Amino acid sequence: EIVLTQSPGTLSLSPGERATLSCRASQSVRSSYLAWYQQKPGQAPRLLIYDAYTRATGIPDRFSGSGSGTDFTLTISRLEPEDFAVYYCQQYGNSPQTFGQGTKVEIK
Amino acid sequence: EVQLVESGGGLVQPGGSLRLSCAASGFTLSNYWMNWVRQAPGKGLEWVANIKQDGSEKSYVDSVKGRFTISRDNAKNSLYLQMSSLRAEDTAVYFCARGGTYSYYWGQGTLVTVSS
């Protein structure tokens, strides 16, 4: 099983700042099959990025994904008030698919 | 509009059983793999199981193998998760999601609490 480790656990930033979230895999993720989700309290996850860098439908271009192999990054270029939430990475290239433990982006 | 609506959650004693349902609308269920994903209170997401379009392939996370069974009835536009031998650590919100890998569409979830 691939273990995904997200860092940092919590990111304290102000609106307008840039957020850089990391997701490191315990072994190479096949074909860069990695997704990123945003989740707010009491809500279902919202797909942001799939296949490491492809934005999902309706996702603003301030969200971008990059990386391959074992190291992946989600970047939010300028934080909007609605971006403060928990973010999860997910790999689906190897069975079983697995999620990271999450990074909370909070208002500083 | 695509909608996924889970039902069937509730309080169950350890060792008990529960059947979750997911009603799909706004799309043709038979065209998609489907996932169940769970989230324990205050914790992260955990993939539980998925099923191929025609039900011929199913996969499970190790912790539920032999206890949970995923199934579907495409004619009724419904996905199911039969859970037995429930443990306290199965307590979670259970989401159904469209797709067998990443998922754009998710239900709102149904809470399963395993406690005596």
What average pLDDT is seen over chain B?
Answer: 97
- Residues from chain A that touch B101, judged by Cβ atoms under 8 A, are 33, 35, 92, 97
- Residues from chain B that touch A97, judged by Cβ atoms under 8 A, are 47, 101
For A46-84, the pLDDT digits (tens) are 999 999 999 999 999 999 999 999 999 999 999 999 999
pLDDT at A6: 98
pLDDT at A21: 98
For the record, the structure tokens of A9 come out as 């656990």
For A3-51, the pLDDT digits (tens) are 999 999 999 999 999 999 999 999 999 989 999 999 999 999 999 999 9
Distances in Å between the Cα of A99 and the Cα atoms of A37, A62, B30, B66, B80 are 10, 23, 26, 22, 22
Q: What CA–CA distance (Å, rounded) separates B63 from B115?
A: 18
* Range 12-51 of A in CB contact (< 8 A) with B: 33, 35, 37, 39, 43-45, 47, 50
- Residues from chain A that touch B47, judged by Cβ atoms under 8 A, are 90, 96-99
Q: Does B106 touch chain A (CB under 8 A)?
A: yes
Average of per-residue pLDDT across B60-68: 97
Average of per-residue pLDDT across B12-34: 97
Q: Do B106 and A44 touch (CB under 8 A)?
A: yes
Q: Name which of A6, A28, A2 is nearest A102 in CA terms.
A: A6
pLDDT at B101: 92
Amino acid at A73: T
- Residues from chain B that touch A88, judged by Cβ atoms under 8 A, are 44-45
Q: Find the CB nearest A101 among B44, B47, B59.
A: B44
Amino acid at A28: S
Instruction: Among A47, A88, A91, pick the best mutation site for testing chain B contact (most B Cβ within 10 A).
Output: A47
Q: Find the CB nearest A96 among B61, B106, B108.
A: B61
Q: Name which of B89, B84, B94, B86 is nearest B38 in CA terms.
A: B94
Q: What CA–CA distance (Å, rounded) separates B59 from B62?
A: 9
